[in-house]
Structure 1
Amino acid sequence: MTRRSTDGWVPEGTPLDTYREGFVPKQNRPRLAAGADVFTMACERMAYVLDTHDKALVSFSGGKDSTAVLNVALHVLDHEPSLRRHLPLRVVFFDEEAIPQETEDYVRRVAQRDDVALEWYCLPVQHRNACSRTSPYWWPWAPEDEAKWCRPLPPEAITTLPGFPIWPPQERLTIPNINGLIAPPPHTTATLMGIRAQESLIRAHAVRLRPVDNYIVKYSITKGRQAAAYDGGNVWKAYPIYDWRTEDVWAATRLYGWDYNKAYDLMEMAGIGPSGQRCSPAFGEEPLQKIHVYAQCFPDVWARMSERVPGIGAAYRYARTELYGYGGKPPKPDGQTWPAFITHYVRKHGTDVQPKVAARIADVIARHYRKTTHPILPQSPHPDTGLNWSFLLTIAMRGDFKQRRQESNQLMARTAAEHWQRYTTELAQLLTDGTTPAELGHPRPLPTDAHAIVPDQHKDTP
């Protein structure tokens, strides 16, 4: 089956930039013209990274974005003789077990290439299980769960890694924390990743931190006590396709005849749009919304997935409802303060992760009060911080362990003047209703005049 871009079928010989007209990115963020198409720019970045690092590896998932990174890297190595010390190109694949058979087949085809040296890891790495608040983690290929594995262990599987703890389960590392093990000192190593700014504001911010080499990010361990043991300070993350859009990825796939994961064809035939097409496990906080895709498109693996983690049955039925913090949210009972209401949902999590969720909420609140003395309202995001209690309720219900949700994202849809109008209107109504500071968790008296707090530059703005 021939893949197509989001705008239509991609004919041979068409520049990638042709298929941008009319495409609206998720957050409607403008891009500046760079004087070259995205493929050329990606190749230039790739050549720079390969030239300035001792070693390189592709962090490969079998998805469309890591496919683009892999092929850009191989294209550069084929055309730059001075960089061929990186051949065969090291490709690292962490098999997450609950994946379609089409993904396994595609990874195997990649592994058979002469210019690729693929390492196929089947390790019980720590993953988020958002299906259950009391069992917040799961471990693919965990030896204690062998009877529940979603697929047979692939013959290529690497099941041990020096320094990776198998027992006890709570000591097992996440995939990001393994980077220091697969790329130890003294060599500098670039991990080539398919991170694209279009996917989220967090990813967009990651490539806006520096004006030069903004697509190269220092790797750091995420668990402090493991840093000394596993972070050698020699690993960097590189995002050579960070400015690509979804249609760029598929246009390049068609134009250059790249092989790809045929799971995408099944999802497209099922009527699932490009933004909803994912090949990763569906147990995480964000993928959970697409859990029905597995049941629809990959019934064989779904038959095993449906019994793999605690809470999967409830998640399949209710993942897109207020039970999991999507769609509507439960109303706060009258007479209960917002902090108490939030605490009620934090305590629904397992005792081992409650402190993590509570600390995340406390950090967000502290960030708000570092910027303003105004109260946090139930529904209206504060115009300077984006925070409201509804956002905190979402964090309390879901956990947001990877901090993919940021309060500032709530300010994208309206102008500052519109946010001030919305905020002051709700505050005025709360003052009329006699709402107390305690109900809003506010540490000082509420403003007596809601509209007086509006900055001068926004007071007369329609």
Structure 2
Amino acid sequence: MSKTYLSIDVYTAARQRMERVFDDFSSVYLSFSGGKDSGLMLNLALEVAREKGCLPLNVLLLDLEAQYQHTADYLRRVADHPDVNLHWVCLPLHLRNAVSQIQPHWLCWDPDAKDLWVRDLPDHPKVISDEAFFPFFRRGMEFEEFTLEFGEWFSEQHGGEQTACMVGICTDESLNRFRTIVNEKKTRWEGFGWTTLETPHVYNAYPIYDWSVRDIWTANGKFGWDYNKVYDLMQMAGVSLHKQRLCQPFGDDQRQGLWLFKILEPDVWAKLVTRVAGANFGQRHVQEMGNVLGNIRIKLPEGYTWKRYAKFLLATMPPDQAEHYRTKIAKFLKVWRKDIRSGKYPDVDRIYDFADPRIEASRKVPSWRRVCKVLLKNDYWCKGLSFSQTKRDMERQLALVTKYIDL
């Protein structure tokens, strides 16, 4: 889908979108992470909310524990802002760990691992650490589950009115973010393409979706807005503007930046290595090409077919991980066999051991090499086999973990 450019600058357009949000919704909050995008959006929203008489501004922050100290300092500055009503959530959430098969997930703020926490619980009156505070919360919720439930809870606190959650994503940074905006299946508020219906009572609004990274830093400099100073360290470390990201550091994509912790904040890095399995392994090998983490080209061991190699890899995994992957692989093969029989793909007549790498990469042909790449990449949700994370997957995962713990 092609982009259509407006005749106004991104600053003016974002202000107009935010003004519309405050005009149309009496229940509004902002999703904040401490990164450059949400930080920019916070500053801009405060400016508009002040003019609209909509202060204090409600803000949701999910603090995932494994943060740079500079990020922690920035969060505290935001919490201390007199015009911000911050919901600073420090609760045990279930997070992805893509650098270990032994511990493929971890629990931030886990009460049973308090002596290993990367940071002490923030001592601030706006911190929410009581697991009974939210009626919907259960220990080990997924990040995505919590954000959806919070939106409905927030709406209930405001009389069940339609609620707007402003989210600071810039589509210039990734294709997935661009798809979020242009997805024609989404329900919009009053037809505005920069909004999506997320739950029955909550619309997400993306007021800065068309900003570039240069726009963000230009605005911070021009208006003297506060931001997370860890970006200054990233700049000094030679990281390009487009690769300066902040997020929980162990995710499938986020693990690429693990090495930065060691350089920027060695004291925090030492705690990360102790806190989450595979952290040091990840920062050493995540950018290497080859079989260690399945990047780019992978090689077949001598005497193996790709199918046999896949079975070998499964046999070396912890039982719960192996069962999880076998279920996904079986579904992958079943779907392709059905499509082959129906003639949906005329050029595909079987499950191949391997095929043209370019066709495999486009996911237009089934092969055991694709399966092996998923296993080597520790691609838990099997995105390389065209799967995505679903609520049913999360329930099955919990059942698997419980099953093998009980054993």
Distance 1:310 1:374, change over 3 A: same
1:193 alignment partner, one of 158, 167, 188: 167
Q: Please say if residues 291 and 316 of structure 1, whose CA atoms lie closer than 8 Å, have aligned partners that are also in contact.
A: yes
Q: Report the secondary structure of 1:267's partner residue.
A: helix
Which of 29, 43, 51 pairs up with 1:71? 43
Answer yes or no: is the 8 Å Cα contact 1:357–1:395 preserved in 2: no
Report sequence identity in percent: 31
* Pair 1:179 & 2:152 matched: no
The corresponding residue for 1:37 is 9
Aligned positions, number: 358
Shift of 1:385: 5.2
1:297 corresponds in structure 2 to 264
Whether 1:380 aligns to 2:358 is: yes
SS in 2 for 1:324: coil
SS in 2 for 1:219: strand
Contact 2:32 2:61 in 1 (8 A): yes
Give the TM-score normalised by the residue count of structure 2: 0.78
Is the 1:89–1:116 contact (alpha carbons within 8 Å) kept by the matching residues of 2? Answer: yes
**Pair 1:159-2:129 in alignment:** yes
Pairing partner for 1:352 from 310, 316, 320: 320
Quick check: 281-290 or 43-52, which moved more?
43-52
C-alpha displacement of 1:117: 0.7
- SS at the partner of 2:29? strand
Q: 1:285 aligns with which of 222, 239, 252?
A: 252
Match of 1:274 among 223, 241, 250: 241
Structure 1 stretches lacking a partner, 5+ long: 1-28, 167-171, 221-232, 408-462
Q: Provide the residue aligned with 1:6 in structure 2.
A: none
| C-alpha deviation, 1:354, in angstroms | 4.4
Check whether the contact 1:263–1:279 (CA below 8 A) recurs between aligned residues: no
One-letter amino acid matched to 2:174: S
Contact 2:258 2:279 in 1 (8 A): no
Letter in 2 for 1:213: F
Q: Aligned letter for 1:206? A: T
SS at match of 1:155: coil
* Partner of residue 312 from structure 1, selected from 252, 257, 279: 279
Superposition CA RMSD, Å: 2.9
SS state at 1:280 partner: coil
Taking the aligned partners of 2:209 and 2:382, their CA distance within structure 1 comes to 20
Indicate the residue corresponding to 1:219 in structure 2.
198
Contact 1:131–1:288 under 8 Å retained in 2: yes
CA displacement 1:181-228 (0-9 Å, x = unmatched): 4332323222211222222222211111239422222225xxxxxxxx
CA distance in 2 between partners of 1:251 and 1:218 (Å): 31
SS in structure 2 of the partner of residue 331 of structure 1: coil
Q: 1:348 to 1:31 in 2, by over 3 A?
A: farther
What are the residue-to-residue correspondences of 1:8-407 with 2, within 5 Å?
A: 31-79=3-51, 81=52, 84=53, 86-156=54-124, 157-160=127-130, 161-162=133-134, 163-166=136-139, 172-183=140-151, 184=153, 185=156, 186-210=160-184, 212-219=191-198, 233-321=200-288, 322-331=291-300, 336=305, 338-345=306-313, 349-354=317-322, 356-358=324-326, 366=335, 369=339, 372-375=345-348, 377-381=355-359, 386=364, 389=367, 391-401=370-380
Q: How does 1:405-416 map to 2 (within 5 A)?
A: none
Shift in Å, 1:116: 0.8
1:240 match: secondary structure = coil
Structure-2 change in CA distance of 1:173 and 1:66 (3 Å): same
- In structure 2, how many angstroms separate the alpha carbons of the residues matched to 1:246 and 1:64? 9
What is the SS of the residue equivalent to 2:93? Answer: coil
Q: 1:49 to 1:367 in 2, by over 3 A?
A: farther
Look at both structures and tell me which one has the larger radius of gyration over its CA atoms.
Answer: 1
Q: Distance in 2 between matches of 1:361 and 1:47?
A: 48
Q: Quick check: 1:65–1:195 contact (8 Å CA) kept in 2?
A: yes
Q: 1:314 to 1:187 in 2, by over 3 A?
A: same
Structure 1 residues 353 and 248: CA distance shift in structure 2, 3 A: farther
Secondary structure at the residue paired with 2:75?
helix
Q: 1:352 to 1:234 in 2, by over 3 A?
A: farther
1:400 CA drift (Å): 3.6
Residue 248 and residue 267 in structure 1: after superposition, are their counterparts in 2 closer, same or farther (change >3 A)?
Answer: same
